[in-house]
Amino acid sequence: MTIDLDNINVILATDCGSTTTKAILIEKVDGEYRQTYRGEAPTTVEKPFANVTIGVTNAVTEIGELAGRVFTNEDGTIKKPVVGEDGCDLYISTSSAGGGLQMMVAGVIAEMTAASAKRAALGAGAIVMDVISTNDKRRPHEQIQRIRELRPDMILISGGTDGGTTEKVVQLAELIAPAKPQPRFGSEYKMPIIYAGNKDAADEVAASLQEDWIDLAIVENLRPKLEQENLGPARDKIHEVFLEHVMAHAPGYDMLMDWTDAPIMPTPGAVGDILQTIAKKDGINVVGVDIGGATTDVFSVFNETFNRTVSANLGMSYSISNVCAEATMPNVLRWVHFDMDERELRNHVKNKMIRPTTIPQSLESLIFEQAVAREALRLAYKQHKEFATTLKGVQQQRTVGDTFNQEVAGNTIVDNMKLNLLVASGGVLSHAPSMHQTAMMLVDAFEPEGCTNLAKDSIFMMPHLGVLSVVHPKAAAQVFERDCLVYLGTCIAAKGLGKEGRPCFSWSISGDINASGTCNFGDLERIEMSPGQTATIMCEPARGFDLGAGNGKKVTHEIRGGTVGLIIDGRGRPLKLPENRQKCQQTISRWVENMELYPEETNVAVAT
Amino acid sequence: MAHAYTPGLKVTSRMSNRVIRMLPIKGDVMVQIGDTVTADQIVAATYMPGDVYPLNMANTLAVPPKDVASLMLLHEGDSVEEGKPLAQSAGLFGKFKKIYNSPYSGTVETISEVTGQVILRGPDIPVEVRGYMSGTVVEVTPEIGCVIESDVAFVQGIFGIGGETCGTIAFAVDTCDCTLTASEINSDMNGCIVIGGARITHDAIEAARDAGAVAIIGGGMDDQDLKEFLGYDLGVAITGSENKGITVIVTEGFGDIAMASRTFDLLKKHEGHEASVNGATQIRAGVMRPEIIIPLDAGTAEAEPDHTGGYLEIGKALRVIRDPYFGMLGTVKSLPSEPQVLGSGSKARVLEVELHSGESVIVPRANVELIEA
């Protein structure tokens, strides 16, 4: 269907999540696209409803009630096109309901083709259940046993550069064929397998996978050369197979696919698309995070290279217990500025896990949850940095001049000093009672360096805008800029460590606000700077500290205000908290007070 | 929204319950519609294809992959015993040939000319599906499984570990607020489902397992006890496959919390009866809670509605499921329509609860669950 973009005035977009279906309405107001109303309803993919469109209709009906218009027909379908005040011109949707897209990937070498295959799957919005490679330290029969236990929606096989090994690639196929993994959707489901490896091995791989339960698709090699990744064709195929096979087997999705004007995208894939679009448009490096109940997704775009990771068991409800286990309770409690009983806390954590919909009622409870969030985000970002690397296996030519340069392939491309924008989404960040809390969770967990803008996704509309950016990039960009992001402010933070109380950097601001001062090591302060205000900050770091221009070198940054303002962070990087519990509590208390994180009339027994 | 739906766990003295018993792959169903089956009766059985062992024979025989087939002493489809000849090396000038014995028993499934790999398939693995719940077979899907139906008393727990089992209900405590320790466990509990009151301690679980009990059920348990029993810190609530020799179910939550009196009284009523229990818990898409199923004789009790939650209404009984009032019981006193600011600073829809102590407190609607009066 051809869409006349000039005549699109009303856009409906839904995101069918695991628990909630979120709908937003975008309208052309005074010639510009704006998000105007939102509605939500429980997702209905499970029994007794077992039809995703019921939840969609309910969410859209709620928007209609709020807007005083009608967006659904009597049979529940979306009313299109606009007639009078009712209906919409364009309807699009994303989905992560029913566990999203679950994939298994395989490649010859874990750090090379298997890593590229994992990047392709994650970039397409999948959850990667396991990565099989010839050097993953498991014996072949253990690998087969693992493949048998998994119940993926599809499998991606890569391996070998074009013209490289065929034998090892075919060996991988020979492991998968006898393992016969059982799909989630029952024995009638044909397992889609995408082959994106050495083109010379394609025929032999096809011969090895000639089984009646396999639906094989062959696409271009995702790593044709060691120094080149070509993830596009594999990603596109994953999306295609996702629609044709996975979605078609999910309850009600056949109807939903008929309703939408663009293919349904996996939710994280759509978020990745909008972040890439924005990074490209503004020429900036972006990190986005979405922390949910079960998982935490981290997205990054550095120098136009996109990466996404899913930390499958780092979340704030279903997986909260795992965060505490992985981070350890002392690491969680270092962010809490008063004493808590560890035995009771452990029980609270488990009770949150088994009753995931409860919310913190007391301030103590909120502070503890935000401490857990810091650790979940920190761990997820650490995993992301380890995954988002330059290509491994690339041959490097060294000259005499490189003798002392120990840089090797496979370094992380995530550079906090070059990070321009950090975007937060997910319940604990989006629904924090104060935006100061959101900002500090981000700063403490991600430890941005130099000058970084902080923002949050106002009502989690990045998925909607991601799919919209495919159909109508102009509308997506306008809504993203005006309605999606709520700017929290800017964080200025020095890299390096020093002695507490000694000068870290001096600063002076001119523009919409004017101020100057000296930030000592260990200081954290906030300067009021309202949304829309801009200024120039000139910083002069002390020796041993870097703010972006190098050790001890002056630097100038353009800064923007926000609901929190300007954060002057002299705590150093990497951020280290005192190991002594009492000293740590005192330090955190000081930061809490300076940042006005919690109400003053607190009944919390703050350590002194 | 005029009413807020609040979830709860199912606790009912009589309901019709169906359990689906299915094979993972096609096989034989051994019962027919109308058959009466017991919990430990095998209702369907099959064989799973055996484990797969890839052998890199090209490397072993030191020949190119295409030559492997000619050196194999067995062909695709042939069976071999562990330690018996599988292949013979080419040798030198036709002499000094060496025999390679099979490291596993199985069948030669494939011999690859591309990789030189030989895939051996181990013996088939028998799979048996038992009835789990005594009752009548009401549906049969040929080659797949059956559905068993029975009138039962049914209790849903909040969290459990360990899988399906069945035994006789035996009580170790007198009241629902008694902590269950090892001293209440005795050797008569062999083969029993042991019921406690409030917290179950780690030593009680160990003692019950040592006494041969098949399951232990209580109101709550400490996370520290769970960690010690499992030997690791449970990160995600997906359980059921633990092989600890006993199934553990808590009905209320973590901590020292008394079993709801209705649940305790219902189980007490069936002391000495056979029951089926399953600790499997999954708290994500496709929620699964642990269960205690007590099959009843037809018509032995009056049917009554279950207690799985419902809409919050003034006067309804509830339990608070989050601190600072965690575990406290009370009734709905009022339902303010406007969201209110909580102690945490968040804004949320709330309700006023009159606690059993007589005190009235404000609690977020998300933090309560309805219980029986």
| B187 min Cα distance to partner chain A (Å) | 31
Average of per-residue pLDDT across A164-186: 83
The span from the CA of A388 to the CA of A411, in Å, is 8
What does the pLDDT read at residue B79?
93
- Taking CB atoms and an 8 Å limit, are B321 and A358 in contact across chains? yes
Number of alpha carbons in the 13 Å side-chain half-sphere of residue B141: 13
Q: Where are the domains of chain A?
A: 5-97, 100-259, 288-391+411-594
- Taking CB atoms and an 8 Å limit, are A361 and B345 in contact across chains? no
Q: Copy the structure tokens of residue A165.
A: 């090994």
B304 — pLDDT class (breaks 50, 70, 90): low
What does the pLDDT read at residue A1?
56
Nearest CA in chain A to B282: A354
ipTM of the predicted structure? 0.86
The span from the CA of B217 to the CA of A60, in Å, is 45
Percent above pLDDT 70 for chain B:
93
- Taking CB atoms and an 8 Å limit, are A313 and B234 in contact across chains? no
Class of domain A100-259: alpha beta
**pLDDT per residue over A277-331, tens digit each?**
889 989 999 999 999 888 898 999 999 989 888 887 788 988 899 999 999 999 9
Q: Is the pLDDT of residue A183 over 90?
A: no
Type and span of the H or E element at B226 = helix B223-230
What does the pLDDT read at residue B286?
59
Which pTM was predicted? 0.84
B218 — pLDDT class (breaks 50, 70, 90): very high
| B350 min Cα distance to partner chain A (Å) | 10
The beta-carbon neighbor of A346 closest among B49, B224, B253 is: B224
Chain B residues in contact with A345 (beta carbon < 8 A): none
- Parallel, antiparallel or unpaired: strands A191-195 and A214-218: parallel
| A375 min Cα distance to partner chain B (Å) | 15
- Say if A303 is an interface residue toward chain B (CB within 8 Å): no
Q: Is the pLDDT of residue B341 over 60?
A: yes
- Taking CB atoms and an 8 Å limit, are A343 and B222 in contact across chains? yes
Q: Is the pLDDT of residue B4 over 60?
A: no
Number of inter-chain CB pairs under 8 A, A vs B: 171
- Taking CB atoms and an 8 Å limit, are B235 and A322 in contact across chains? yes
A400 — pLDDT class (breaks 50, 70, 90): low
Q: Is the pLDDT of residue A409 over 70?
A: no
- Taking CB atoms and an 8 Å limit, are B254 and A366 in contact across chains? no
Give every CB contact of residue A296 below 8 A, 6+ residues apart in sequence: A289, A290, A310, A311, A314, A315, A376, A377, A380, A426
What does the pLDDT read at residue A606?
41
What does the pLDDT read at residue B302?
53
Chain B residues in contact with A598 (beta carbon < 8 A): 345
- Taking CB atoms and an 8 Å limit, are A321 and B254 in contact across chains? no
Lowest mean pLDDT among A54-58, A61-65, A94-98: A94-98
Environment class of A323 (CB within 10 Å of its CB; exposed 0-12, middle 13-18, buried 19+): buried
According to DSSP, residue A344 is labeled H
Chain B residues in contact with A363 (beta carbon < 8 A): 343-345
Calculate the average pLDDT of chain A: 89
What does the pLDDT read at residue B372?
59
Does domain A5-97 fall under CATH 3.30.420.40? My reply is yes
Distances (CA, A) of A81 to A7, A84, A463, B321: 10, 10, 23, 47
Average of per-residue pLDDT across A488-493: 97
Question: Which stretches does DSSP call E strand in A329-385?
Answer: none
The span from the CA of A101 to the CA of A121, in Å, is 9
- Taking CB atoms and an 8 Å limit, are A171 and B237 in contact across chains? no
3-class state of residue B165 by DSSP:
strand
- Parallel, antiparallel or unpaired: strands A305-311 and A524-527: unpaired
- Taking CB atoms and an 8 Å limit, are A170 and B254 in contact across chains? no
- Taking CB atoms and an 8 Å limit, are B281 and A182 in contact across chains? no
Average of per-residue pLDDT across A48-75: 89
Which residue of B1, B221, B234, B236 to mutate against A (max A Cβ within 10 Å)? B236
Which residue, among B319, B356, B363, B364, has the nearest Cα to B158 in the 3D structure? B319
| B272 min Cα distance to partner chain A (Å) | 30
Q: Which domains are seen in chain B, by residue range?
A: 8-27+148-295 (3.50.30), 52-121 (2.40.50), 312-370 (2.30.30.30)
| A362 min Cα distance to partner chain B (Å) | 5
What does the pLDDT read at residue B206?
97
A542 touches A502 (CB < 8 A): yes
Chain A residues in contact with B253 (beta carbon < 8 A): 347, 350-351, 354-355
- Taking CB atoms and an 8 Å limit, are B346 and A343 in contact across chains? no
Chain A residues in contact with B226 (beta carbon < 8 A): 350
* A15-29, A140-154, B124-138 — most confident range: B124-138
**pLDDT per residue over A343-354, tens digit each?**
889 999 999 998
B283 — pLDDT class (breaks 50, 70, 90): confident
- Taking CB atoms and an 8 Å limit, are A349 and B223 in contact across chains? yes
Interface of A with B in 431-470 (CB under 8 A): 431, 433-434
A406-439: buried (b, 16+ CB within 10 Å) or exposed (e) per residue? eeeeeeebbebbebbbbbbbbbbbbebbbbbbbb
The beta-carbon neighbor of A321 closest among B49, B121, B234 is: B234
Rg (CA), chain A: 25
What does the pLDDT read at residue A9?
94
Nearest CA in chain A to B325: A361
**pLDDT per residue over A9-26, tens digit each?**
999 999 988 778 889 999
The span from the CA of B100 to the CA of B97, in Å, is 10
- Taking CB atoms and an 8 Å limit, are B54 and A175 in contact across chains? yes
Give every CB contact of residue A547 below 8 A, 6+ residues apart in sequence: A449, A450, A451, A492, A493, A494, A495, A505, A539, A541, A555, A557
**pLDDT per residue over A362-385, tens digit each?**
999 999 999 999 999 999 999 899
Lowest mean pLDDT among A386-390, A415-419, A421-425, A497-501: A386-390
- Say if A59 is an interface residue toward chain B (CB within 8 Å): no
Which residue of A210, A342, A354 to mutate against B (max B Cβ within 10 Å)? A354
- Taking CB atoms and an 8 Å limit, are B255 and A351 in contact across chains? yes
Lowest mean pLDDT among A400-414, A579-593, B184-198: A400-414
| A359 min Cα distance to partner chain B (Å) | 7
Give residue A373's identity as a one-letter amino acid code.
A
The span from the CA of B290 to the CA of B155, in Å, is 9
What does the pLDDT read at residue A599?
80
Angle, vertex CA A535, rays to CA A533 and CA A541, nearest 5: 135
What does the pLDDT read at residue A187?
62
Interface of A with B in 348-377 (CB under 8 A): 348-363, 365-366
Give every CB contact of residue B258 below 8 A, 6+ residues apart in sequence: B176, B177, B197, B198, B219, B220, B252, B327
Average of per-residue pLDDT across B168-196: 96
Average of per-residue pLDDT across A406-435: 86
The span from the CA of B115 to the CA of A169, in Å, is 9
Nearest CA in chain B to A363: B344
- Taking CB atoms and an 8 Å limit, are B323 and A174 in contact across chains? no
| A363 min Cα distance to partner chain B (Å) | 4
A555 — pLDDT class (breaks 50, 70, 90): very high
Nearest CA in chain B to A321: B235
The span from the CA of A72 to the CA of A78, in Å, is 5
Nearest CA in chain A to B232: A325
Chain A residues in contact with B324 (beta carbon < 8 A): 361-362, 365
- Taking CB atoms and an 8 Å limit, are A166 and B222 in contact across chains? no
Average of per-residue pLDDT across A45-53: 78
- Say if A346 is an interface residue toward chain B (CB within 8 Å): yes
- Taking CB atoms and an 8 Å limit, are B285 and A174 in contact across chains? no
| A219 min Cα distance to partner chain B (Å) | 21
Lowest mean pLDDT among B7-11, B62-66, B153-157: B7-11
The span from the CA of B224 to the CA of B202, in Å, is 9
**pLDDT per residue over A520-552, tens digit each?**
999 999 999 999 999 999 999 999 999 999 999
What residues form DSSP beta bridges with B319? Answer: B329, B369
- Taking CB atoms and an 8 Å limit, are B344 and A365 in contact across chains? yes
Chain A residues in contact with B254 (beta carbon < 8 A): 346-348, 350-351, 354
- Taking CB atoms and an 8 Å limit, are B115 and A360 in contact across chains? no
Calculate the average pLDDT of chain B: 89
**pLDDT per residue over A83-135, tens digit each?**
999 999 999 999 877 667 889 999 999 989 999 999 999 888 888 889 999 88
- Taking CB atoms and an 8 Å limit, are B323 and A362 in contact across chains? yes
- Taking CB atoms and an 8 Å limit, are A362 and B25 in contact across chains? no
| A518 min Cα distance to partner chain B (Å) | 33
